[in-house]
Chain A
Amino acid sequence: MSDTSAPAPAAAAPAAPEPGGAKKDGSERWTQTLRDITGGSAMISILAVLFALIVGAVLIAFTNDRVQETAVYFFSRPGDLLRAVGDAVAGAYSALFQGAIYNFRANNFLTAIRPLTETLTFATPLIAAGLGVGLAFRVGMFNIGGRGQMLIAAGAAGWVAFAVELPAGIHLIVAVLAGLLGGAIWGGIVGLLKARTGAHEVIVTIMLNFVALYLIQFLLRTPGALQAPGSNNPKTPAMLSTAIFPDLFGPRYNLHAGFLTVIAATIFVWWLLSRSSLGFQFRAVGQNPRAARVAGINVKNIYMYAMAISGALVGLAGINQVLGTVTTGFGAGIDAGIGFDAITVALLGRSKPWGIFAAGILFGAFKAGGFAMQAAEGVPIDIVVVVQALIVLFIAAPPLVRAMFHLPTPGTTKKPKIRVVKAHKTNEVVAK
């Protein structure tokens, strides 16, 4: 293998400017996107959330039975339709708020605040996996392998937690370490293959997702491996109490100490990226692997370390699932799509540790509130997925949001971009 093949032929590697690409736009494209995402004003974020919620409201209104009934006689009594729309949207979003943050219908404060702790519980694995995906983004790699890394980590941590007997405290630590190791290995394979053979990380992570899924399915139905003894279900036994994350605020709330590990992970990633030598190399490779190599950085090793750490962080999400949220034994669906949600969390968090932390909490709130909304108002939780996707889409395209709300163009860094859009328009006109 030649050194130059290190930035693999990229179908989808966002940040790997390839050898021989159109140099200027190639290498600057990702940094431009990153600059847009990281440098965009808070206003853009707020507007994006607002606009996504408006689109969600439209969808809720359109599919509401009462709205459809009143729409039939809109011209005779328009008030009915407007009232129905208002009721549907307000009902759904107020249920979302009550399910996510503060239930003002509760009798006392301790019950009323419970939704907030639910939000944090849902946010815990999202933040962990988001940190992993975001770290890979910063090194110029796209980790879609969250599912596989979570499953392997969950399998490793879960096995230690139910099959090995250790004193309390040590048991939990050993289980967490086993899970981290599992995730790191599953992620590390990707980095290793990318570094040594140039295999594209997008393909390898997708493939490893399936490999992990089938591996875990096999172990789950094999007695003596992960399957609960004396059972035919593909499910593990319950975790031993010594290996479970303790509840943070007592049994009344689901929030567990896993949230603390996620805070620690966020601090760790922040320290790694902005205070450590390794993190500097990570960012250098992410910005421009060729320049990094010229500067004496071993790009191949960086890919391996980054994917291993990324895998471990995503694995932490799996660990939190089995040792914190679902402690009564798990099946092959334990990842619950978090590996994919993490991609949107990382994008919304702009691949920065604290941004991901905030984005994870926002998406956790949507998740917690979505369930409440589904139960209370009958609005399917899938609307939350739509809103989340729209938020990321709008945040990723600041020119679009600015155009929609007639915002001024901030900063000099955006200037070339706008000129480009204009040039494109004039180009079209000329072409016509």
Chain B
Amino acid sequence: MSTITQSPAPTPASAPIVKATAASRSWKIPITLGGFAVLSLFLFVLLGRGQRGELSTFRLSQARDVIQLPAVALPTFITGVVVAIVLVLLAALSAWMVYRRIKIPIIYSILFAILFLVGFLAWAASGSTIPVPGLLIGTVTLSAPLIFGALGGVLSERAGVVNVAIEGQLLAGAFSSAVVASATGNPYLGLLAAMVAGALVAMVLAAFSLKYLVDQVIVGVVLNVLVIGLTSFLYSQVLAPSKNLNSPDVFPQLDIPFLSEIPIIGPVLFRQTIIVYVMYFAIAIVYFGLFRTKWGLRVRAVGEHPQAADTVGINVNRTRFVSVTLGGVVSGFGGAYFTLGAVGAFNKEMTNGMGFIALAAVIFGQWHPIKATLAALLFGFATNLQNVLGIIGSPVPSEFMLMLPYVVTIFAVAGFVGRSRAPAADGKPYIK
């Protein structure tokens, strides 16, 4: 367990990123994979003995699809045994690779996770049918606010401002989108209002942390509380008595022609609401903007080494302010999902801690928009898996299913990304 990772350099200037060198061996991945392999042996083989002779069916198409894929029926116990054996072998292989100092590619862990999932689903669904498209559609839908929140967090933290206020931005977006969409009868204006609200929260965060140099975590926490209090107060005082301020139209599901008929992928990605389609663009734009444009380079520069950025003439605080505000725009837009994309009416504290999960996705995703998106998808998947298994009946109590994503995150944070590093100047105001 205790191996020597490379010490960080004394100053960021001389060596900002020192990757673990070949001289170090980290046993974290083999240990984590081994843990899951043992778990799979226990679940699929030991507990799965009673399922001999049963079938687990994976339904791959929905009734309305043009191209119908046949349902796949796997023998539960045999699948479990095969998967468990392969997982043990993979874990052993990873240990061998670490011993031989071969770098374990990230795809290796992803493959392992998918295999584990297949085994798990087969085990959990013994004797019944899992609707795979339904499972995945719900994943994308439930992940939408998390992804928006995570993107907003990435934008803010890449510029060096810790964004704990994602929750507040989501909630502000949800509130204002519901009110404006109801008042004007136009849900698109609601989306606009959500962005403005998210930006306002972000501006307060930026102003307090950049101008008044208040600790950014403190401002973020307090802003969350403030937004919760304000929206709850206004909800009780204004929205609850007059119903016509809180009954926005919900965006309908939009099928994209042709694309939505691709088997599995079509229904999952292209039978969603407009909010989800915007999300695809948002992911691409944030990624492109941060890593392929001059502006993005500047944002990352002020997040990593503001002094150097200042030396070459970048206005550090203004760049940060803009980036944080943009992050608020993105998060606020995600907040509209809660009202215009799902429920319709606003409710007290309806974001229910999603902002904190998005924050976890940012850190889990190593402050990278794509990785953060994947992390958010993981949370969405786990939530939806619990919903699906709740319907078909799961062998484990539903609470443990609900717990799973959080436990996996703890494992992952402790195992895989324990060494992940934030932008070097994250959380530090720049003082000339």
Could you list some 24 contacts between A and B, CB below 8 A? A4-B8, A5-B5, A10-B427, A18-B422, A20-B9, A21-B12, A22-B424, A22-B428, A25-B431, A142-B217, A197-B413, A203-B410, A203-B413, A209-B353, A210-B353, A340-B225, A382-B236, A383-B233, A385-B225, A389-B229, A392-B225, A393-B226, A397-B212, A416-B431
Q: What are the 6 tightest A-B residue pairs by CB atom distance, in nearest-first order?
A: A385-B229, A380-B236, A382-B232, A389-B226, A386-B229, A218-B399
Q: Which residues of A contact B415 (CB under 8 A)?
A: 197
B407 interface contact, C-beta 8 A: yes
Cβ contact within 8 Å between B208 and A22: no
Q: Which residues of A contact B217 (CB under 8 A)?
A: 12-14, 142
Give 19 A-B pairs besides A2-B5, A208-B410 with Cβ atoms closer than 8 angstroms: A2-B4, A20-B11, A20-B16, A32-B213, A33-B213, A199-B418, A204-B413, A209-B353, A214-B400, A344-B222, A384-B229, A386-B233, A388-B229, A389-B223, A393-B219, A393-B226, A396-B219, A397-B214, A400-B212
| Cα-based distance from A193 to B419 in the complex (angstroms) | 12
Where the two chains meet, the residues of A that have a C-beta atom closer than 8 Å to any C-beta of B are 1-2, 4-5, 9-14, 18-26, 29-30, 32-33, 59, 63, 142, 144, 193, 196-200, 202-204, 206-211, 214-215, 217-218, 340, 343-344, 347, 379-380, 382-390, 392-393, 396-397, 399-400, 416-417, 420-421, 423-424, 427, 431
Select which of A5, A202, A396 is within 8 A of B218 by beta carbon.
Answer: A396
Task: Give the segment of B58-66, B95-103, B104-112, B357-365 that binds chain A.
Answer: B357-365
Q: Which residues of A contact B414 (CB under 8 A)?
A: 193, 196-197, 199, 204
Select which of B218, B360, B400, B429 is within 8 A of A347 by beta carbon.
Answer: B218
Q: Evaluate whether A207 and B12 lie within 8 angstroms (CB atoms) in the complex, with A18-B424, A390-B226, A396-B214 already known.
A: no
| Cα-based distance from A70 to B307 in the complex (angstroms) | 56
Cβ contact within 8 Å between A20 and B12: yes
Where the two chains meet, the residues of B that have a C-beta atom closer than 8 Å to any C-beta of A are 1-12, 16, 28, 157, 162, 164, 208, 211-223, 225-226, 228-230, 232-238, 305-307, 315, 317-318, 348, 353, 356-357, 359-360, 362-364, 367, 397, 399-400, 402-403, 406-407, 409-410, 413-415, 418-422, 424-432
Q: Which residues of B contact A423 (CB under 8 A)?
A: 432
Cβ contact within 8 Å between A431 and B315: yes
Please give me the residue from chain B that is nearest to A344 by CB atom.
B225
Select which of B232, B233, B399 is within 8 A of A214 by beta carbon.
Answer: B399
Q: Which residues of B contact A214 (CB under 8 A)?
A: 399-400, 402-403
Cβ contact within 8 Å between B222 and A396: yes
Name the residue among A18, A22, A214, A431 with the largest chain B CB count within 10 angstroms: A22
Q: Which residues of A contact B410 (CB under 8 A)?
A: 193, 199, 203-204, 207-208, 211
Q: Which residues of B contact A386 (CB under 8 A)?
A: 226, 229-230, 233
Q: Which residues of A contact B306 (CB under 8 A)?
A: 22
Q: Evaluate whether A215 and B208 lie within 8 angstroms (CB atoms) in the complex, with A144-B356, A343-B221 already known.
A: no
| Cα-based distance from A116 to B11 in the complex (angstroms) | 54
Please give me the residue from chain A that is nearest to B212 by CB atom.
A397
Please give me the residue from chain B that is nearest to A15 by CB atom.
B215
| Cα-based distance from A209 to B407 in the complex (angstroms) | 11
Cβ contact within 8 Å between A10 and B307: no
Q: Which residues of B contact A384 (CB under 8 A)?
A: 229
Cβ contact within 8 Å between A380 and B222: no
Please give the distance in Å from A144's CB to the nearest CB on chain B.
Answer: 7
Q: Which residues of A contact B424 (CB under 8 A)?
A: 18, 20-22
Cβ contact within 8 Å between A4 and B228: no
Q: Which residues of B contact A142 (CB under 8 A)?
A: 217
Which DSSP category, helix, strand, loop or mixed, fits chain A's interface? helix
Select which of B238, B318, B428 is within 8 A of A21 by beta carbon.
Answer: B428
Select which of B1, B221, B356, B421 is within 8 A of A206 by beta carbon.
Answer: B356
Cβ contact within 8 Å between B6 and A2: yes
Q: Which residues of B contact A208 (CB under 8 A)?
A: 406, 410
Q: Evaluate whether A30 and B215 lie within 8 angstroms (CB atoms) in the complex, with A347-B222, A393-B222 already known.
A: yes
Please give the distance in Å from B397's CB to the nearest CB on chain A.
Answer: 5
Cβ contact within 8 Å between B5 and A1: yes
Select which of A11, A59, A424 is within 8 A of B317 by beta carbon.
Answer: A424
Please give the distance in Å from B215's CB to the nearest CB on chain A.
Answer: 4
Please give the distance in Å from A421's CB to the nearest CB on chain B.
Answer: 7
Name the residue among A12, A59, A144 with the largest chain B CB count within 10 angstroms: A12
| Cα-based distance from A379 to B234 in the complex (angstroms) | 10
Cβ contact within 8 Å between B8 and A20: yes
Q: Which residues of B contact A144 (CB under 8 A)?
A: 356
Name the residue among B211, B219, B229 with the largest chain A CB count within 10 angstroms: B229
Name the residue among A18, A24, A215 with the largest chain B CB count within 10 angstroms: A18
Please give the distance in Å from B13's CB to the nearest CB on chain A.
Answer: 9
Please give the distance in Å from A432's CB to the nearest CB on chain B.
Answer: 10
| Cα-based distance from A384 to B348 in the complex (angstroms) | 15
Cβ contact within 8 Å between A4 and B406: no
Please give the distance in Å from A431's CB to the nearest CB on chain B.
Answer: 6
Select which of A4, A9, A22, A30 is within 8 A of B307 by beta carbon.
Answer: A22
Name the residue among A20, A340, A343 with the largest chain B CB count within 10 angstroms: A20
Please give the distance in Å from A362's CB to the nearest CB on chain B.
Answer: 15
Q: Which residues of A contact B7 (CB under 8 A)?
A: 2, 4, 19
Cβ contact within 8 Å between A21 and B425: yes
Please give the distance in Å from A336's CB to the nearest CB on chain B.
Answer: 13
Q: Which residues of A contact B402 (CB under 8 A)?
A: 210, 214
Cβ contact within 8 Å between B419 and A198: yes
Q: Which residues of B contact A210 (CB under 8 A)?
A: 353, 402-403, 406
Cβ contact within 8 Å between B431 and A420: yes
| Cα-based distance from A218 to B399 in the complex (angstroms) | 6
Q: Which residues of A contact B364 (CB under 8 A)?
A: 203
Cβ contact within 8 Å between B218 and A9: no
Please give me the residue from chain A that is nearest to B230 by CB atom.
A386
Q: Evaluate whether A198 and B214 lie within 8 angstroms (CB atoms) in the complex, with A22-B428, A203-B360, A208-B410 already known.
A: no
Q: Evaluate whether A427 and B432 lie within 8 angstroms (CB atoms) in the complex, with A21-B424, A203-B360, A211-B407 already known.
A: yes
Please give me the residue from chain A that is nearest to B360 by CB atom.
A203
| Cα-based distance from A420 to B214 in the complex (angstroms) | 13
